[in-house]
Chain A
Amino acid sequence: MEDQAGTGGAVAEIPGAALQIGEFSLASRLVVGTGKYATYSEMARCLDASGTDCVTVAVRRERLLNAAGENILDHLDTTRYTLLPNTAGCFTADDAVRVARLGRELLRDLGNPGSEWVKLEVLGDQKTLLPDPVGTLAATERLVADGFTVLVYTSDDPVVAKRLKDLGAASVMPAGSPIGSGQGILNANSLRICLEYLKDGDPGYPVIVDAGVGTASDVAAAMELGVDGVLLNTAIAHAADPLRMARAMRAACEAGHEAFLAGRIPRKRYATASSPEDGRIGGSTT
């Protein structure tokens, strides 16, 4: 009774083994953010250690005074990583659409394939950074109509998740817990229902847990539920040893995905011995 979902035998891997999102094919199931690192060189080392081939970036006003400083692009190999521009910090659909279009222009200039997709965030509340579902739905519809491959940050609400997919989102990305909170997966049950709804009749539809990861076991737990990938940033960037945590995240993502494919045993209340019952010493022979 305790764990009827998420059990029940091995799962056939979708052929190709890469994370497929619309026209985009990624080798790693980990998408890593580029914010909050102490230095750009530390960021570059951590991205390398994480094994990712897709990194998120934000769009912000250029400094008009003293603009000659370092740019993140001086430290990102744009031939190695597909950049995924986000609309972080937008609280209206209008702002999110504007930022998405600016990100597209920036990436087209760079010749990076990431110009044609966007990580859409429309936030509803400064304190929680939880998504505004109404604005998120509106912006998804507009960006899909504008030709974007939309990867959309949302809550773990299965009904909203399904609506976003129906509007044409290429990937729905439920939060495990609030952005940067490090609380991991707070509602595995909701995520399971999201997965069931989003993959119903469409098992290859990519679902990515975006936000909330605190440590490696959170990534493994998410992947074991059957999500296709995990997007994280703070858990690496603010770890006491970011480089070591980047390695841990890579291993956890692979371990969790393998465990999902392998099919975990059901949970049972009582013990089942691993060693044979027969042939123990001291008893009477039968």
Chain B
Amino acid sequence: MSSKSIGGEIIVTVNGTDHQLPSGSTAHDLVASLGLEGRPVAVELNEHVVPRVELPGRVLHQDDRLEIVTLVGGG
């Protein structure tokens, strides 16, 4: 993966898959663009949890790695 942003876009990895976003996008923008706003999800950015209230202020950068998780059945 190139470490440079191209044409005002950045590429971040979300749940193991590359996603292209406009430069300057926040973690909240990403969650919203995936249709997950208001859903029970938690977000981890580069292996650190980002509390929900901090998502709008967290600007994403090229090559950031995110995990977006929810609760499922388990024992």
Q: Which residues of A contact B (CB under 8 A)?
A: 33-37, 40, 43, 56-62, 64, 67-68, 71-73, 83, 85-86, 88, 98, 101-106, 108-110, 179-180, 211, 231-234
Number of interface residues of B (CB under 8 A): 26
For residue A103, which residues in chain B have a CB less than 8 angstroms away from its CB? 42, 71
For residue A106, which residues in chain B have a CB less than 8 angstroms away from its CB? 40-42, 69-71
Comparing B1-9, B21-29, B45-53, B56-64, the segment that makes contact with chain A is: B45-53
User: A-B pairs with CB below 8 Å: how many?
Assistant: 109
Check B49 against A34 for contact (C-beta < 8 Å): no
> Given the complex of chains A and B, what is the CA–CA distance between A149 and B75 in angstroms?
18
Subset of 21 A-B contacts with CB under 8 Å = A33-B74, A34-B73, A36-B73, A37-B73, A56-B74, A57-B71, A61-B70, A64-B17, A68-B35, A73-B71, A83-B71, A98-B44, A102-B42, A102-B67, A103-B71, A105-B43, A105-B51, A106-B41, A106-B42, A180-B75, A233-B75
- Among B16, B17, B52, the residue within 8 A (CB) of A105 is B52
For residue B73, which residues in chain A have a CB less than 8 angstroms away from its CB? 33-37, 40, 43, 57-58, 72
Check B40 against A110 for contact (C-beta < 8 Å): yes
- Among A35, A40, A60, A105, the residue within 8 A (CB) of B75 is A35
Instruction: Give chain A's interface secondary structure class.
Output: mixed
For residue A234, which residues in chain B have a CB less than 8 angstroms away from its CB? 75
For residue A231, which residues in chain B have a CB less than 8 angstroms away from its CB? 75
Please give the distance in Å from A110's CB to the nearest CB on chain B.
7
Please give the distance in Å from B58's CB to the nearest CB on chain A.
14
- Please judge, given known A-B contacts A67-B34, A105-B52, A106-B69, whether A58 and B74 are in contact too, CB under 8 Å: yes
- Please judge, given known A-B contacts A102-B49, A110-B40, whether A64 and B75 are in contact too, CB under 8 Å: no
